[in-house]
Each structure stands twice: as C-alpha cells, then as structure tokens.
Structure 1
Amino acid sequence: MKKIFITTLLIFTSVIFFGQAKKPTIMVMPSDQYCLSRGFKLTFTNQGMTQTLPDYRAAMQSDPNLRLVITKMGQMMADRGFPLKDLEAEMRNMMQESAESSMLTSSSSGSEMAESPIDVLKRVAKADIILDLDFDLKAQGPSKYMVFNLRGLDAYTAKQVSGVAGAGRPSTSATPEILMEEAVLSHMDSFNAGLMRHFDDLFENGREVKVLVKVFNNWGENLESEFESAGETKELSFIIEDWFADNCVKGRFNLSDATENQMRFEQVRIPVMKLQSGRERAVDTRSFVSDLRKHLTDKYQIQSKLYLRGLGEAWLILGEK
C-alpha cells in the first residue's frame, strides 16, 4: 500500500512539474506571401534603400477571414499552454511608442540608423517564436476546405524551427476558423514538439543573436588600438573577443569578420535568463550588448552608441554616445 502511495505521489509530482515547464511565448502572424499577394504592403526606406514589407495592420483590418483564423490559431496554442502575444495588441503598443517612425541618432555626429516596422514590432512584442501562417480557402463543388502552411520561426534569427503543411476536409457549413482548426489539429503534436525542442535548446545552449561592433569615423582610436588589460597591453579587438568568450553560453560565438574598424559576431549564444540583484531576469540582445558597453566604459573609458535591429541583432558603435 505504501509503495502504491509513493508511486502515485511521484506520478502526480511529475505531472505538476512538466505541466509547469516553461514554454516559449508565441505570436501568430500572417506570412509575407499572404499579405503581399493580397496587396497588404507598405514601403520602407532606410539609408536610401527602399523595401516592400507586409502591412499587418491593413491585413487585419481588411481581411475578416485572416482575423478569425489568427484568433483561432492563437487560441489553439494557448489551450496547449503556450503564452501568447496578440498581434493587434502589439501593433497598438508599437503605435503608442511611436516606434514605427523612430530613429536612433548619435548625439555627437548625427549618424542615424532606422529599424523597419517589422523589426520594431518583433522587438516590442518580444515573442520567442513567430508562427508564420499562410492559408487559402479552396472550393470543391459546394464545399470549402482549408489549405495551410504553418512555420515556427525563431523571432531572433528568423530560422525555421518547426513546420507543417496540409489541407483539411471539405465542408459545406464550417466557418474559416473551424476549417483551419480541423486542418491543423492532427499536426499539432508534432509541430509543438518541434517548438519545444528548439526552446529546450535555447535554455541549454543559449539564444542565437548577431552583434556588430563598429567605430565612428571621428573617433581617434580603432579596433587595433592598444589598451591596458589585466596588467598587459592588448588590442581592443582581442579585449572584445575575450569578453564574448567569457559571457557567451559555453563560450560559443563566431567572429566572422574582423578589421580595424569592424567586428562581426554571428551565432552568438546569449543566456536566456540571468541572476541580477537576487532575481532571475530575462536576457535579450539589448541587455547582453549593454553589458559589453558598460564593460568598455568602466574599464577603458570608451564611449559607445547601441543600436538595435529587431530582437536578434545589435550594433555597438565605439567612439561616441
């Protein structure tokens, strides 16, 4: 009897533990192809380059089927315990912060760099995974059915971490959101398992981001300039590289390019969480590179400007604030 009680208790404890396991935050978004093919697009100019981007706001306001399907998709993920970011709510947050038109400018030289509205939206929302959804309602005689393509994209790198595509059964009476649910339902377990494998990897090996270190033209130093470090003289580039080795998860990063004026770090693995003032806090690209910025200021009196490019990329430009 005692053994049965202990076994039952262990099973119950395991259920609670796994039920409380942290899951990635999800935001469902229509795919670029869905928006652009239906004319929901806007143009964005950055440093003289013009880009055509999906206009999510116009799509959500003008396409009732899209709104229903995205709401249903979000509900299905929430029912499975995934924290959810609402696309429309995050777009409102972005507008309130005037983020779409914001420019980051050096207070000294006036150098500027803009984020695209898509980058800003992802940065404001801070979702872990973007569910990139494309679908089409097809007719088969009097019946309709749903064809869909659902991709789970890492919000920081845009790399696909899970995906599924298929078609639902024809129906003469089901609404678009029900057709979507029926089409996707049989694929959800394998799709969600892919998301969780990726999220588990983030906690084990760190989140992947990119960091670009550059030098303002009017700074009197560069990345080959030498500074005193731990009792020896080192080039600044090696000091920065040492910092990445000490602060990346398992020391993992790739220095893909290094010159006297630029260092490009890719596949930089940053921790998902860190302990700060006795509390566990989330780490993102901004906070990670801010620590590098503080390190260079405190130890070497190097001023710098931090620019963000969405969630997964930051530029640290040395020589000015």
Structure 2
Amino acid sequence: MKLRLINAFLMLAVACTAFAQGKNPKIMVVPMDTWCQERGFWNVYKNQGEIKGTPNYEQAVQDSRELMLVISKINNLMSDRGFPLADLSQSIKNNTRRTARNTLTTSKTPGSSLAVSALDELNRQAKADIIVEVDFSYNTVGPKHSVTYNLRALDAYTGKQVAGADGTGTPTFTSEIPVLLEEAVVGHMDNFISRLQYHFDDCRENGREVVIEVGVFDNGSGTDLESEYDGSELSEIIENWMAENTVKHQFLTSETTESIMLFENVRIPLLKENGMPQDASGFANELRKFLRTKYGIESKNNSPSLGYTQIIIGEK
C-alpha cells in the first residue's frame, strides 16, 4: 500500500512538472504607437526639456469600438491556441485603482534618469510575458472591404521583437472588422505562434533576459564600487554574485566604474523558488539581501519596468 502511494505521488509530480514545462507565455494585446498617434490617442510631456510622447491606452479603449473588436478577436485567436491572456481594458482599470504615481523618476545617481512608460506601468500589473502590438486599417474599394494589419510580438521584459506578421486580407463583401481581420491573419497565425513558443522555450531553458544597473548614492559615506570587503572590491563581489545566480552564468558586464555597474543580457530564472513569476526587481532584491546580510551594505531598489531595475548602494 505504501509503495503504491509513493508511486502515485511520483507520477503526480512528473505530471505537474510536465504541465509546468508546457506552459505557454502570457499575452497582452495593445495598439501600436503609430495607430494611437494617427487617431489622437497620444499624450505629450516634457522630460528634462525634451518633448516626449506616450500612447493614451485608456482613451483608446474607451473611444474606439473598432480597437476593442480587433483586440477581442486577437485575444480569441490566441486563447484558442492555449495562450493565457492579460486583457488590456481590465489591466487599465486595475491600474487606475492604484495610488497615482509620477510617470518620471529621477535617480540620485548623477546623469541617470528613468522614464516609466504607459506600457511599463500597465505591464507591472498584468505581468505579461509577450506584448502583441497591433496596427490595422479598414479598406473599401467599391462594394468590397478588407483589413490591412501589422502584428508585432515583443518580449515584455526586453522590448525585443520575437515574432511578426503583416498583410492585407482578400477583399470581400462583408464589412465586419473582426471577420475581415481573422480572414487576413489566419494563414499567418501558426508561424506567428510557433515563433512565440520558440522564444518562450528559450527563456525557460536559458533564463529570461533583463538589465540590472548598480549605482552609488552621493551621500558622502565614502562607499563606492571600489570599496574593499574581505579583500575584494565591491564590484568584484557583485559580479561574482551575478555569476553564481544567473542561469548558466549568462550576463554581460557592459560598464564598470567606481560609481556604476551595468549588467546587460542578464539571464534570470522564469520563476522564483516559490513558483511565482520572477522579474528584474525580484532578482535584484536577492542581491540587496545578500549585500545587507553579508556585508551590512544598505541599498535601494528602483524598478521602472519588469525587465530593468536599478540598485543604488548607500541608503535604503
């Protein structure tokens, strides 16, 4: 009896592992910047004297019935293929319930500024793995109609494109945008999906790619990245920690000075030890704990997006 229970437990564990390995990436569909600009769903602001722009997703989902129909159709196409979804409209509602925050944060590291984009702000709530951007236009020639579309899948943590599809559907007599869109994209969906899955499988095997920056508060403490602890400079200690905690020791130290270290192509595990999704901030918090516990070094975590975080040493 005991042996059968053990075997049943092992079979269950194997099944759960297989399910976890087969997990699809979480998707969120949003309108492309160009679509938002052309239709006036665009906010303009100043960042240190420069004019910047960001899409107004909230206004877009409220005012454009066509956009919501298109997003709903793509959501259905992705859901039918087993992809979990983060709905844009619901993510916006969740975001507005939070305490209002400044869209711009200036760090205390000289010369460094961090902009929190509208998409970064939304995705910190939704925690999608892939952002699918969509641009579309409605065409009419005589009695026939078609849709011209552009789909672009971006890694939500790096902003890198991992899949794409574009084209114009065959003109038909129907005028329903969701039907026209489905007819236009259906022939490209399998290749689009396979590229998404290939990218996510690579993340599962080799880790998710993020950027970690380490800076130093200019507070007169005398501590910087050249300070020595147990015979090693702080920069060397941090680099060794990165080597021990990244997936397959994969990271690139692209900049090292007495006040800044920049780690790019940092591959971190998809999941934390508790099984929850891991982002750059969560990974960097482990570095903060290590520095505080072993060397008594306090630091602050400044994290504007899922794929980028800044640890500033010297104060909390």
Scaled by the length of structure 1, what TM-score is found? 0.87
Equivalent residue letter for 1:22: K
Superposed CA deviations along residues 72-111 of structure 1, whole A, max 9, x for unmatched, are: 111110111100000011111111113553777999xxx9
Q: 1:84 to 1:255 in 2, by over 3 A?
A: same
Helix, strand or coil at the partner of 1:83? coil
* Residue 158, structure 1, aligned to residue 153, structure 2: no
Aligned to 2:209: 208
The Cα of 1:50 is off from its aligned counterpart by 3.8
**Which of 255, 258, 261 is matched with 1:260 structurally?**
258
Does the aligned pair in 1 maintain the 2:121–2:305 contact within 8 Å? yes
* Residue 313, structure 1, aligned to residue 314, structure 2: no
* Residue 281, structure 1, aligned to residue 276, structure 2: yes
Superposition map of 1:1-321 within 5 A: 21-47=22-48, 49-101=50-102, 115-218=116-219, 219-228=221-230, 233-275=231-273, 279-321=274-316
Structure 1 runs of 4+ with >3 Å offset: 17-20, 44-50, 99-107, 111-114
**How many correspondences in the alignment?**
297
Does the aligned pair in 2 maintain the 1:100–1:116 contact within 8 Å? no
Paired with 2:216 and 2:252, the residues of 1 have a C-alpha distance of: 20
The Cα of 1:220 is off from its aligned counterpart by 2.0
- What are the ranges of 5 or more consecutive residues in structure 2 without an aligned counterpart? 1-14
Helix, strand or coil at the partner of 1:94? helix
Does the aligned pair in 2 maintain the 1:106–1:320 contact within 8 Å? no
Question: Sequence identity of aligned pairs in percent?
Answer: 47
Paired with 2:300 and 2:92, the residues of 1 have a C-alpha distance of: 27
Paired with 2:257 and 2:143, the residues of 1 have a C-alpha distance of: 65
Paired with 2:43 and 2:103, the residues of 1 have a C-alpha distance of: 17
Helix, strand or coil at the partner of 1:244? helix
The Cα of 1:117 is off from its aligned counterpart by 2.7
Helix, strand or coil at the partner of 2:226? coil
Paired with 2:265 and 2:49, the residues of 1 have a C-alpha distance of: 28
Equivalent residue letter for 1:21: G
Paired with 1:242 and 1:148, the residues of 2 have a C-alpha distance of: 47
Superposed CA deviations along residues 123-159 of structure 1, whole A, max 9, x for unmatched, are: 1210000001011111111211001110110000010
Helix, strand or coil at the partner of 1:280? coil
Q: 1:303 to 1:44 in 2, by over 3 A?
A: farther
Cα RMSD (Å)? 2.3
The Cα of 1:236 is off from its aligned counterpart by 0.2
Paired with 2:282 and 2:163, the residues of 1 have a C-alpha distance of: 27
The Cα of 1:282 is off from its aligned counterpart by 2.1
Superposed CA deviations along residues 231-288 of structure 1, whole A, max 9, x for unmatched, are: xx1000000000000000000000000000000110000000232xxx4232111110
Helix, strand or coil at the partner of 2:272? strand
Superposed CA deviations along residues 11-57 of structure 1, whole A, max 9, x for unmatched, are: xxx9xx68982000000000011101111101244455442011111
Aligned to 2:4: none
Q: 1:104 to 1:37 in 2, by over 3 A?
A: closer
Helix, strand or coil at the partner of 1:192? helix
Does the aligned pair in 2 maintain the 1:106–1:305 contact within 8 Å? no
Paired with 1:125 and 1:48, the residues of 2 have a C-alpha distance of: 31
Paired with 1:113 and 1:43, the residues of 2 have a C-alpha distance of: 17
Equivalent residue letter for 1:74: N
Scaled by the length of structure 2, what TM-score is found? 0.88
The Cα of 1:62 is off from its aligned counterpart by 1.5
The Cα of 1:300 is off from its aligned counterpart by 0.9
Q: 1:99 to 1:79 in 2, by over 3 A?
A: farther
